[in-house]
Amino acid sequence: MVVKRSGQRQPFDRAKVVAGVRAAAKNRPIGTEAMETLAAEVEEQVRLDGPEVTSQHLGRAVLEQLRTLDDVAYLRFASVYKGFADAGDFEREVGLLTKATQPKRH
């Protein structure tokens, strides 16, 4: 079950995860199979976390998977999930994304 911000409970729906990823990945080189795999991995992850998860936890799980799949899709999903209000929010997130994905220099 997914507990929404309103407190409403809904069954987990993998198709909703795929639809959200598909919207974020529009015009990006991400195939349907990759989206389905991402949704299956998110589903497995949240199932391991217990019988109920919050929609916020689910959104973070999707973001973690998107981070490794496609930077642009990640930023698009993050902009909706985190409620970006202006360009500064994008700049901050790009900085975090770049910092998290750059290899460490020796």
For residue 37, give the nearest of 21, 48, 58 by alpha carbon. 21
pTM of the full structure: 0.79
β-pairing, 53-54 with 2-3?
parallel
Average pLDDT value for residue range 86-103: 76
pLDDT in tens, 45-82: 999 988 999 998 999 999 999 988 999 998 998 888 88
**pLDDT value of position 104:** 45
Q: Which residue has the higher pLDDT, 80 or 106?
A: 80
**pLDDT value of position 106:** 46
Helices (H), 1-106: 14-24, 32-48, 55-69, 71-81, 87-101
CB 69 within 8 A of CB 30: yes
pLDDT in tens, 25-44: 999 999 999 999 999 999 99
